[in-house]
Structure formats: structure tokens, C-alpha cells
């Protein structure tokens, strides 16, 4: 077994907790060890939300408390409640996982570095990161960057798919609609938000809105910049989303393309496929960035293709956070 990669998690929301759950599932022989957690919530609240999860069910490991810390499967994890990481010592941490969703200034993004961590991985879009990297799409762009954005869950689903489609058949233009589960940014009952439509109760309506994935694709796949448009519809489910992608391609081969799409997915380390007539709940807990629904494949004429892919926007994205953390840590091995 290689060197254990030490992680600290800042922000124990949906992604922070899902990452910790995935590390626990890997067991004592897994490549990661979480050594520190930071959140403004009390440790008892963090413990409770880890134990009982409305989407993924009970925590798969043993959780105990030792003073103000957590002990998970016999390993003690330091827990702090610092709003700005002042006084928090992260010396020896290989990758600091910034999961608060607030790393929109360079000062915030660098807090993990100032606390002693070797590098920072941000769990969302961030214009102040050194680089935005999506596994399966632009890993070569990582270089020696120390503050890295892992983009968004939708970008992680879309970018590897677009890269593969473009390499195979030449994408001239495309439009993507993400059919996205509701998130914590939406109210449970009608309440004011910046976007009037997103002021409406999340579990009662389908809500048309925007997606950051379109702009992020321009960063991740710059050779496709200006050719991809996108929109989002938030829908009343708690987990698992989908990308509905229509492309115009230069070199579509004749005939049914479900088989070539399956081969494309199998050649990718982050894509999967299904031949079943699945519904969203069937894909909960799948670790791939996108799972192509082959029965939904449709072509119109010689150049237009519709591709439909599922993605667990929490589980799959968290799996990519760990993959990226491993890639970042390998540079210092």
C-alpha cells in the first residue's frame, strides 16, 4: 500500500459529509485518512447529521465522541469551529478540502494553505482558483497548481462526455439541459431569493433556472468555447440529476449509436452506462461522473444526436473530489 493521503474538510454540508462517508467505506486499508474537520456547527450536530442521512441512510461506520472530537471506526478526527481557520493547525495535511461553497475570494481560498495544508481543493466553481480541473476532461491542466477548483457536479457530468463525443465525432455545437434535484440554496416554502423562480418552494414545482456548467465548459474545454449552451430545471427530487444533451456533430457514423456510446463510456475512467429503463432513484450512490442511459439515445438525420446521462450530483461529485485529491497528493509523493 502506498502513502496514506491525509485530508482536512472545511464545511460539513452535503459534500463534506459525503466525502467522509466514502472515506469510511474504503476502510482502514483505504488510501485516505481524514484527520481534521472544521465547521461552525457544534460537534453534536455534525455527529447527528453523519449518523442519519435522509438520502444515503445510516452512516456505514462506527461514530463516537471524544471530548470535542469525533472518533470514526477507531480513528480520532480533530473537530474545530473556526469561521476563518485562525488558530487551526493543519501542518502535515496533504489536501485541504474546501467544502463551504464560499471560496469566492483569494483570501478565503488560501486559508487552508495559511493553516499549514499543502494544497487546497475547492468543491465547486471558483474564479479565484489557480485552475479548474475536471477528471476525464482536462487533468493535464493541473500542473503544479496549489489552489484547485473541482468545478460543479454538472460540469463533471458534462465535460467528460463532451470531450469523448468531440474526439470521436467532432462537436460543432450543443445544448444541454440539466434536470437537477433541488438543493439547499432553494427554500422549502416560498421565500425571497435573488431569482424569482428560485424563490418558490423547491419540492412543489419544477423550477427553470441557469447553470454554471456552460461557462465552466469554456474553461475546461476551451476549444469548444462558445459552442455549448445550457439551462437547468430544478425538480422535486432530493438526489440524482441528469444531463439531456443534444449535439450537432460533423462525423456521426451511420446507424444506431447506442453501442458506440457504450464503448465510449467503457473507455472512460469516470463514465458508466445502463441499458435498463431506469428512473433517478436507481442511480443513487453511483460513483461515476455520468451514467449514459443507452435506451434514451436518439439521432435526427446525419448530424444531430441526443444523449441522456444520469449523475448522482452528491455521490459522484464527492468521488471525483477524492480522485482529484489523490492526483494532487501524488505530485508530492
How far is it, in rounded angstroms, from Cα 188 to Cα 182? 10
How far is it, in rounded angstroms, from Cα 300 to Cα 125? 34
Q: Say if 328 falls within a structural domain.
A: no
Please write the tens of the pLDDT for every residue from 183-214: 999 999 999 998 999 999 999 999 999 999 99
Q: Say if 280 falls within a structural domain.
A: yes
- Both 222 and 93 in one domain: the answer is no
How far is it, in rounded angstroms, from Cα 287 to Cα 90? 29
- Both 112 and 170 in one domain: the answer is no
- Both 98 and 217 in one domain: the answer is no
DSSP annotation string for 146-213: SEEE---HHHHHHHHHHHHHHHHH-EEEEEEEEEEE--TTS-SS----SSSGGGS-TTTS-EEE--TH
Question: What's the rounded mean pLDDT across residues 133-147?
Answer: 97
Sign of CA dihedral 217, 218, 222, 227: positive
Residue 87: CATH number of its domain: 3.40.50.720
Sign of CA dihedral 311, 315, 318, 319: negative
- Domain termination residue (choose one: 103, 123, 143): 123
- Both 158 and 305 in one domain: the answer is yes
- Both 173 and 303 in one domain: the answer is yes
Residue 301: CATH number of its domain: 3.30.360.10
Q: Say if 139 falls within a structural domain.
A: no
Containing domain of residue 90, as a range? Answer: 5-123
What is the grid cell recorded at 122?
A: 475547492
How many domains, in total, are found in the chain?
Answer: 2
Q: Say if 147 falls within a structural domain.
A: no
Phi-psi region of 66 (alpha: psi -120 to 50; beta: other; left: phi over 0): beta
219: DSSP letter: H
Q: Are the beta carbons of 160 and 134 closer than 8 angstroms?
A: yes
Kindly indicate the confidence band of residue 332, based on its pLDDT and cuts at 50, 70 and 90. Answer: confident
Indicate if 99 belongs to the active site.
Answer: no
Question: What's the rounded mean pLDDT across residues 55-65?
Answer: 95
- Both 170 and 280 in one domain: the answer is yes
- Both 222 and 290 in one domain: the answer is yes
pLDDT at 1 > cutoff 70: no
- Both 54 and 172 in one domain: the answer is no
Does 96 or 67 have the greater pLDDT score? Answer: 96
- Both 163 and 303 in one domain: the answer is yes
238: DSSP letter: S
Among 19, 153, 220, 292, the one annotated catalytic: 153
How far is it, in rounded angstroms, from Cα 202 to Cα 52? 22
Please write the tens of the pLDDT for every residue from 141-178: 999 999 999 999 999 999 999 999 999 999 999 999 99
- Both 110 and 200 in one domain: the answer is no
Residue count of the chain: 333
Please write the tens of the pLDDT for every residue from 288-321: 999 999 999 999 999 999 999 999 999 999 999 9
Q: Say if 320 falls within a structural domain.
A: no
Amino acid at each position: 500500500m502506498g502513502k496514506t493521503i491525509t485530508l482536512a474538510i472545511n464545511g460539513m454540508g452535503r459534500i463534506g459529509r459525503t466525502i467522509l462517508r466514502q472515506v469510511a467505506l474504503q476502510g482502514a486499508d483505504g488510501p485516505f485518512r481524514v484527520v481534521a474537520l472544521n465547521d461552525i456547527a457544534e460537534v453534536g450536530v455534525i455527529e447527528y447529521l453523519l449518523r442519519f442521512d435522509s438520502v444515503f441512510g445510516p452512516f456505514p461506520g462506527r461514530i463516537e465522541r471524544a471530548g470535542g472530537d469525533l472518533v470514526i471506526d477507531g480513528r480520532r478526527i480533530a473537530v474545530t469551529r473556526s469561521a476563518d481557520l485562525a488558530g487551526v493547525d493543519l501542518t502535515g495535511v496533504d489536501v485541504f478540502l474546501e467544502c463551504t461553497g464560499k471560496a469566492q475570494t483569494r483570501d478565503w481560498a488560501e486559508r487552508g494553505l495559511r493553516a499549514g495544508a499543502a494544497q487546497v481543493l475547492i468543491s465547486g466553481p471558483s474564479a479565484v482558483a489557480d485552475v479548474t480541473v475536471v477528471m476525464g476532461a482536462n487533468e493535464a491542466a493541473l500542473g503544479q497548481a496549489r489552489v484547485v477548483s473541482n468545478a460543479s457536479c454538472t460540469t463533471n457530468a458534462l465535460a467528460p462526455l463532451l470531450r469523448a463525443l468531440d474526439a470521436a465525432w467532432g462537436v460543432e455545437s450543443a445544448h444541454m439541459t440539466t434536470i437537477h434535484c433541488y438543493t439547499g440554496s432553494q427554500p422549502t416554502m416560498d421565500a425571497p431569493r435573488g431569482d424569482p423562480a428560485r424563490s418558490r418552494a423547491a419540492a412543489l414545482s419544477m423550477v427553470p433556472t441557469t447553470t454554471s456548467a456552460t461557462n465552466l465548459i469554456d474553461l475546461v474545454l476551451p476549444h469548444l468555447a462558445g459552442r455549448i449552451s445550457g439551462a437547468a430545471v430544478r425538480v422535486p427530487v432530493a438526489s440524482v440529476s441528469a444531463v439531456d444533451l443534444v449535439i450537432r456533430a460533423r462525423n456521426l457514423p451511420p446507424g444506431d449509436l447506442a453501442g458506440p456510446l457504450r464503448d465510449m463510456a467503457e473507455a472512460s475512467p469516470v463514465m458508466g452506462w445502463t441499458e435498463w429503463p431506469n428512473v433517478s432513484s436507481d442511480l443513487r450512490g453511483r460513483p461515476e461522473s455520468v451514467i449514459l442511459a443507452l435506451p434514451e439515445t436518439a439521432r435526427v438525420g446525419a448530424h444531430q444526436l441526443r444523449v441522456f446521462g444520469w449523475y448522482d450530483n452528491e455521490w459522484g461529485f464527492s468521488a471525483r473530489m477524492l480522485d482529484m485529491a489523490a492526483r494532487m497528493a501524488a505530485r508530492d509523493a
